[in-house]
A and B are shown apart, each in its own frame.
Chain A
Amino acid sequence: MEATAKQTDTRQRWVRKDLVIVPMRAEGAADAIAQLGARLQAGRFVKDSWTQATIEREKTFATGLPTPEVGVAIPHADVEHVLQQAVAVGVLEEPVEFGEMGSPDSTVPVRIVCALAVTHSELLVTLLQRLVEMFQSPGVLGQIAEAQSPAEIVGILDHHIQIK
């Protein structure tokens, strides 16, 4: 059972063009999450409950990261709201404020929102490791922020977060 799940994960890519919004305009963090949630729902990657659950989780466990070049957030919900693994990406024209992870009183101006849909928590660990390496690779977040098309962003993310 476990082996089957892992095989599926290896074959599947995380990001698809229809899960990328560029350029994105959003009123705030909740709006950005809702727009990405709608894409994830349309592709049947998440249940209807995902958007609300993610917005709620963000209030308690904020996911904004003050990376050196461009602020990033990795909003996600518990696995019970997810149907299939995917990452939806929004690149904002103008940054929106997300709460800063670990610091309840601070916010981070975020331009890149990576909404994570993950079906089991071990996989979230692997995805997070890849993402953290990507965030810490000089220039990569700048490339994503400058990208003009969903295909470009899919290319960058595929290169960095592919699992095996």
Chain B
Amino acid sequence: MSGEKRVLIACGTAIATATVVAQKVKEIAKEVGIPVRVVQCKAAEIRGQIITFDPHVIVATTPVPKDLGIPVFNGVPFLSGVGMDELKAQLIEALKKG
């Protein structure tokens, strides 16, 4: 599917926060009708995933390097609820553009 957007979700070690964030991202993409493919990884695997998965957008619940050349969003609002609407709007914007 040509319009499909690839989203990489990164978390610290255990994949748990990434799974919760991935579900939110899928829900949001479905709401606005953007087809997405979501892959989860640990923080240490981000650079490798950029090469193999080539994501349009990264959402992370852990600090990630700033020089990745891909839009990176802090996914923690999906866990805490604080700033979730803003993050949602920014993410939709990036998915439409990316």
User: CA–CA, A102 to B14, complex, Å?
Assistant: 14
Known contacts A57-B13, A121-B14: A135-B63 contact under CB 8 Å: no
Check: A12 CB closer than 8 A to any chain B CB.
Answer: no
Check: A124 CB closer than 8 A to any chain B CB.
Answer: yes
User: CA–CA, A32 to B23, complex, Å?
Assistant: 31
Interface residues of B in 56-91 (CB under 8 A from A): 60-63, 74-76, 78-82
B59 to chain A, nearest CB (A): 10
Number of residue pairs spanning A and B whose beta carbons lie under 8 angstroms apart: 67
- Are B80 and A61 interface neighbours, CB within 8 A? no
- Are A67 and B82 interface neighbours, CB within 8 A? yes
Annotate A135-162 by CB proximity to B: 1 below 8 A, 0 otherwise: 1100000000000000000000000000
- Are B74 and A103 interface neighbours, CB within 8 A? yes
Q: For residue B81, which residues in chain A have a CB less than 8 angstroms away from its CB?
A: 67-68, 132, 135-136
The contact size tier of chain B is: 20 to 34
- Are A128 and B17 interface neighbours, CB within 8 A? yes
Check: A49 CB closer than 8 A to any chain B CB.
Answer: no
Tell which of A67, A68, A104 touches B63, judged by Cβ atoms closer than 8 Å. Answer: A104
- Are B74 and A66 interface neighbours, CB within 8 A? no
Check: B49 CB closer than 8 A to any chain A CB.
Answer: no
- Are A124 and B14 interface neighbours, CB within 8 A? yes
A75 to chain B, nearest CB (A): 12
- Are B62 and A128 interface neighbours, CB within 8 A? no
> Could you jot down 12 A-B contacts, CB within 8 Å?
A68-B82, A101-B17, A101-B79, A102-B62, A103-B74, A103-B76, A121-B14, A121-B16, A129-B19, A129-B20, A132-B20, A132-B78
Residues on B facing A (Cβ under 8 Å): 12-17, 19-20, 23, 43, 60-63, 74-76, 78-82
